[in-house]
Amino acid sequence: MIQNKTSLSSKQYAVPFILITSLFFMWGFARAILDVLNKHFQNELDITITQSSLIQVTTYLGYFLMAIPAGLFINRQGYRRGVVFGLTLFGLGSLAFIPCSMANTFYAYLVALFIIGCGLVFLETSANPYVTELGPKETATARLNFSQSFNGVGSMFATLVVGSFLFHGSGEAGNGASAVVPYTIMGVLVLLIALVFSRVNLPEIAHDDDAETKEGGHNISKLFSNRWFVCGLVALLAYEVAEISINSYFINFVTGEGWMDAQSASTILTIGLGVFMIARFIGAAVMSSVAAEKYLLICGFGTVVCITLLLCDLGREVSIAALLGNYFFEAIMFPTIFSLTLRGLGGLTKSASSILMMTPVGGCGFLIMGLAADHASSFVLPFFIPLAGYAIVMAYAWSVVKKTN
């Protein structure tokens, strides 16, 4: 039977595809909470933007340090066990907010966030490449964009619900303890999901050169000798610097400019993430018929234009419109770059995925934005950092388009 090349997934993989896609909501929720938590801790604990940026630095440092160990684990134990282990760490890290609140210091929370970051990297290193394998190769990029759309749903839900809770007079404890409530709920839910995944059967995807890859260990040298893998890795890191920095800085920027309060800013951020989510669904549809690299090039150009417009500092309406436009154009970047970089790697896919999942350490770029915001006279100036990131993504897309033509 000939497989329809335009189908998103194969019938035999329908159930695994649905189950794995549900996980994208969970880590989208977990990562978006950080953007709200950042401003919340500034208000509650009287810390600077630079200090609060340690929230992102600590979480994404977990990605950087645990990405390769996660890849080694998944190479040996498979995708399902990687998912279960990641969910377990994620859940335990969330519940750790309870004892951390008793320590009555900002730095105690960073321990819990580091554990969550370690769990998320196992989860993402398993789920992202697994989705690209669950159907025709021709629609791998569209399939990952579709699954990543639910990441956007989780992000939007987090900023709307958790943002409303934290910025609506619920944080009266004065020590950040109100953040314990959403994290405890999330921790319990995640551990229940881990129990479900420990009981289901997820088929492993075999490649012709799997045995060779296992005999050669992680084979990092082989990956780094592949020019297109290295280019994709750099582009993905550049994207993560830009995307995470903007999300983390968003509330600080609009409140710093005096345009609105933190709760209203959280609502606008939710709208931006809603645009982001819709754009991923649109991208999944578009890339079923348009080459992924061409659409990536269009979107790369769009983000550069939006951030350039923002840097022109033309006022509230133009700046917010530029930010929302940027959310539309950046939406497809992570899954598209990720799947293009994995293209044709065969048995090296799991190892490549683990290295690519080191790139969220780019979230540490927010530390530089925080330093710039705390020491510069302008809240707009720090946007030069994401502009550089998007320019690199656009250059990568251009090079891939030239390669395929």
pLDDT, one tens digit per residue, over 1-19 is 333 445 555 677 778 888 8
Tell me what pLDDT residue 207 has.
55
Nearest-angstrom CA–CA distance, 251 and 257: 10
Tell me what pLDDT residue 211 has.
52
The residue-averaged pLDDT of 43-47 equals: 81
Tell me what pLDDT residue 188 has.
95
CB 191, CB 26: distance < 8 Å: no
- Give all domains of the chain, ordered by start, each with its CATH number: 11-202+213-404 (1.20.1250.20)
Name the more confident of 373 and 84: 84
Nearest-angstrom CA–CA distance, 263 and 164: 6
The residue-averaged pLDDT of 393-399 equals: 96
The residue-averaged pLDDT of 339-351 equals: 81
Tell me what pLDDT residue 174 has.
52
Output the average pLDDT for the chain: 84
Exposed/middle/buried for residue 216 (C-beta within 10 Å: 0-12, 13-18, 19+): middle
The residue-averaged pLDDT of 72-98 equals: 90
Name the more confident of 351 and 3: 351
Tell me what pLDDT residue 9 has.
58
Q: Looking at the predicted structure, is the pLDDT value of residue 216 above 50?
A: no
The residue-averaged pLDDT of 171-193 equals: 79
The residue-averaged pLDDT of 75-97 equals: 90
C-alpha angle 240-121-394 in degrees, rounded to nearest 5 = 20
Which whole-number Å values give the CA distances from 39 to 112, 275, 358, 374, 380, in the listed order?
18, 22, 25, 14, 17
Q: Looking at the predicted structure, is the pLDDT value of residue 212 above 90?
A: no
Q: pLDDT digit string (tens) for 154-170?
A: 888 888 888 888 776 54
The residue-averaged pLDDT of 389-400 equals: 96
Q: pLDDT digit string (tens) for 116-137?
A: 999 999 988 888 888 877 877 7
Name the more confident of 136 and 322: 322
The residue-averaged pLDDT of 147-157 equals: 84
Among the residue ranges 16-30, 32-46, 363-377, the one predicted with the least confidence is: 363-377
Map the chain to HEC letters: CCCCCCCCCCHHHHHHHHHHHHHHHHHHHHHHHHHHHHHHHHHHHCCCHHHHCHHHHHHHHHHHHHHHHHHHHHHHHCHHHHHHHHHHHHHHHHHCHHHHHHCCCHHHHHHHHHHHHHHHHHHHHHHHHHHHHCCCHHHHHHHHHHHHHHHHHHHHHHHHHHHHHHCCCCCCCCCCHHHHHHHHHHHHHHHHHHHHHCCCCCCCCCCCCHHHHHHCCCCHHHHHCCHHHHHHHHHHHHHHHHHHHHHHHHHHHHHHCCCCCHHHHHHHHHHHHHHHHHHHHHHHHHCCCCCHHHHHHHHHHHHHHHHHHHHCCCCHHHHHHHHHHHHHHHCCHHHHHHHHHHCCCHHHHHHHHHHHCCHHHHHHHHHHHHHHHHHCCCCCHHHHHHHHHHHHHHHHHHHHHHHHC
Tell me what pLDDT residue 175 has.
54
Nearest to 302 by CA among 403, 238, 236, 397: 397
Q: Looking at the predicted structure, is the pLDDT value of residue 231 above 80?
A: yes
Tell me what pLDDT residue 176 has.
59
C-alpha angle 131-134-135 in degrees, rounded to nearest 5 = 125
